[in-house]
Copies of this chain bind each other. A is one copy, B any other.
Amino acid sequence: MSPPQWVKDLKPSGPQGTELIKAEREKSNINVEKLSNFLFTKEVLERQENVLRILQADKVFDKSNNYFDGRVDRFKSSLAKAKRLRQLQVKHNWSEDEFRVANDLISEPTPFGLHETMFLTTLRGQGTPEQHKLFLEPAENYKYIGCYAQTELGHGSNVRGLETTATWNPEDKTFILHSPHLTASKWWIGSLGRTANHAVVMAQLIIAGKPYGPHPFVCQIRDLVTHEPLEGVYVGDIGPKFGYNTMDNGFLLLNHVKIPHINMLAKFSRVDPETNKYVKPSSPSLIYGTLTWVRSTIVLQSGGVLARGVTIATRYASVRRQFQDRDAGPDASGENQVLNYTMVQYRLLPLLAATFALHFTGKAMMGLYQDNQKRMQENAATASDNNRGAGPEELNSGSDLLADLHATSCGLKALGSTTAAEGLEVCRRACGGHGYSSFSGIGTWYADYLPTTTWEGDNYMLTQQVARYLLKSARAVLKGNAPNNDTTRIFTTFLQKQDMGAAHDILGSDSDIVAAFAWRTSFLAFEALKHRDAEKGSWNSLLVDFWRLSTAHSQYLVVKNFYDALQSESLRYELDPETIDVLHKLYRLYALNTLEKEASEFYSSAAVTVRQIQLARTKTVMNLLSEIRPHALRLVDAWAFPDWQLDSSLGRKDGKVYEDMFYRASQLNPLNGLTVDPYADNDNIVKRDETERFRREREWEDEKYKGITPPLPADFKKKINYREKKEDSSENLWV
């Protein structure tokens, strides 16, 4: 498949991408290394480098087929990666952090994903010491491969509506797990489809005909030797999805499957086998803590998720040139760098600002979570025992901090993941036509990330939790019995100044911007409270208001966290004044761009004046764009994504965009192994099929293209008889 010499001799027309991107970097004095260290710490970056070196050297992690393989091949190679990761974890004695870094660098969900997160976490957190010995130990040694089976075909967010039953059988001290309807089929369960041999099944506990709500049960589903489903188990993969196709999300139906008493995870509640009575949970707030942790993690990651897209789009916009400047006159030579267009800046740079805003917010959120965990563990011994089956709201009466943390994590999870997901698509389109190519590296990443907006609480559903908390806080403030926290403080300030009106100097004062966001949130909260309490509006009729309120509150938190981060001492210690100045500009851009997009709420709450918004829109934001623009490339460099992680032609750090696109298309693309018969008067489709050869071989070893993709290990190139391999049903992917 090697191209003729005349093709090998071609290079892009000048100026070369390498020159353009070098010139672009020279426009700014930001010290990229210092900024990276400030964002992530030196230790974390070195860890990333070490792990990267190990992964790149291993042929199992070669990425060059990723964009070409179909579902079955992608799943197989992802399982191979998951296994090798486990082997490396043992070999190098990787910490949890190192293991997570390795997964981040691979950047695809693997079939062990749910085993390593939800299965192990649930066993650890909800199992007794005896159950740890029985289930957790083999799971940690990868003898049991598990998953967490909660969602059902007919039941998503509403856990209490689950149909699967676990009926206590007093005669032989067992539970019978059963799926009474088709809609009771477990669905979307990661790692279940083909990989797991065990599942934690969430099922309605029934004792003597009485239901006690959903509880977790460990259930073996496949034979440990043959890996075939056990009797009474109907299990499989749910089929292809918009993304996430390296994962075998599965379905599971159970037909009166009997499991022993010990298989009900019993740390918090259990069935007493002697009395056949239900023993209610102690300290259920610790369970809800897990959900909060998962949401906090999503917030923490959202900045980095978005930053991948922004990095790719910004680098490509530095290399790509299109049209001449309309005002440049007839003598202008060459086309204009796309990053120079204000319309492109207006689409990309607020997202660049958002990556930093979300990063600082994620760190603050995680700090809040850890503080709370510490406090809760201290209080755990004295915790009320009175909370059987209670939801977070009821629990909160006992813990204002937990209530605040719960609401904050819900709102920020919704805002952060929506911002990241929708921002990635903006980045993809900002790359023009080439953004649509898989080689852009944005599409797959975006598609794989999208479920984050739905899982761990649908982003619209979650806003109800936030609104409920804010209404409660507002009521408490009006009654004068509110706890002293940030939310009640901004509500109190609003009530005090409401009649005088606000006079926020959003164009002159950074702290006034925070105050304007606080004002708008407070206004919306008391408006919603009026609709609900005074006007007796139905909950359902207010959902749109609640969504607006939650979004406003979360935007306030992001702005506030960004502002607070800029006041930190470590900032002034670690960074030079120029970099700090640019970060302040990013802060203002994020805040004022958000304010402008939500302008009508800021007007109608009288947080700012119409004139201020108009100025922000037409002058301040446009000025910030042009001031930030020279630093854009170095700012994305500071996110420190290795090329290997991005796997993007457009986002190459060295600017060799077109060489990389051409190499992948012509040398890696298996469809080019297919020669068709194009004539409609016969049904024959294929003249010659060498797609398999393409899939496995690369012939173009031209010096110029060395280093475009990671070199393949030598033995990968040896000729393989693919047909013979196809015959081998116990095929080893990588021999």
Give the chain B neighbours of A370 by CB distance below 8 A.
none
Check if A680 sits within 8 Å of B83, measured CB to CB. yes
Complex alpha-carbon distance, A603 and B604, angstroms: 10
Chain B residue with the shortest CB-CB distance to A598 = B600
Closest 3 CB pairs of A and B: A70-B70, A599-B600, A86-B680
Chain B residue with the shortest CB-CB distance to A347 = B460
Give the chain B neighbours of A158 by CB distance below 8 A.
322-323, 335
Among the listed B68, B326, B732, which residue makes an inter-chain contact with A685, where contact means beta carbons less than 8 Å apart? B732
Complex alpha-carbon distance, A593 and B443, angstroms: 30
Q: Identify the stretch in A148-156, A204-212, A399-407, A504-512 within 8 Å (CB) of chain B at 4 or more residues.
A: A148-156
Check if A676 sits within 8 Å of B70, measured CB to CB. no
Check if B540 sits within 8 Å of A236, measured CB to CB. no
Interface readout for A147-167 with B: 1 if CB under 8 Å, 0 if not? 000010111111001010000
A381 in contact (CB, < 8 A): no
Check if B540 sits within 8 Å of A194, measured CB to CB. no
Among the listed B13, B238, B436, which residue makes an inter-chain contact with A451, where contact means beta carbons less than 8 Å apart? B436
Tell me the minimal C-beta distance from A730 to chain B in angstroms. 6
Give the chain B neighbours of A326 by CB distance below 8 A.
539-540
Give the chain B neighbours of A610 by CB distance below 8 A.
603-604
A386 in contact (CB, < 8 A): no
Check if A13 sits within 8 Å of B183, measured CB to CB. yes
Known: A12-B182, A68-B239, A685-B732. 20 other contacts (CB 8 A): A13-B182, A80-B683, A151-B433, A154-B658, A155-B322, A158-B322, A161-B323, A161-B335, A226-B687, A227-B675, A239-B438, A239-B665, A239-B669, A436-B450, A541-B622, A596-B600, A683-B734, A686-B731, A688-B729, A726-B726
A707 in contact (CB, < 8 A): no
Tell me the minimal C-beta distance from A270 to chain B in angstroms. 27
Instruction: Report which residue of A193, A544, A671 has the largest number of chain B beta carbons within 10 angstroms of its beta carbon.
Output: A671
A72 in contact (CB, < 8 A): yes
A25 in contact (CB, < 8 A): no
Check if A678 sits within 8 Å of B197, measured CB to CB. yes
Tell me the minimal C-beta distance from A154 to chain B in angstroms. 6
Number of interface residues of A (CB under 8 A): 158
- Copies of this chain, count: 2
Check if B429 sits within 8 Å of A454, measured CB to CB. yes
Check if B680 sits within 8 Å of A181, measured CB to CB. no
A63 in contact (CB, < 8 A): no
Complex alpha-carbon distance, A197 and B251, angstroms: 47
Chain B residue with the shortest CB-CB distance to A543 = B343
Known: A161-B335, A194-B674, A455-B433. A539 touches B327 (CB 8 A): yes
Q: Identify the stretch in A240-248, A295-303, A486-494, A565-573 within 8 Å (CB) of chain B at 4 or more residues.
A: A240-248
Give the chain B neighbours of A68 by CB distance below 8 A.
71, 239-240
* 26 A–B contacts, CB within 8 A, in A order: A10-B253, A12-B153, A13-B184, A72-B674, A84-B683, A156-B434, A157-B322, A182-B662, A183-B658, A226-B687, A236-B665, A236-B666, A239-B439, A239-B671, A242-B437, A244-B436, A327-B539, A343-B544, A346-B544, A429-B454, A432-B454, A433-B455, A684-B732, A685-B731, A687-B729, A687-B730
Interface readout for A408-448 with B: 1 if CB under 8 Å, 0 if not? 00000000000000000100110011111111000100010
**Which residues of chain A in 452-504 are interfacial with respect to chain B, using CB atoms and an 8 Å cutoff?**
453-455, 458, 460
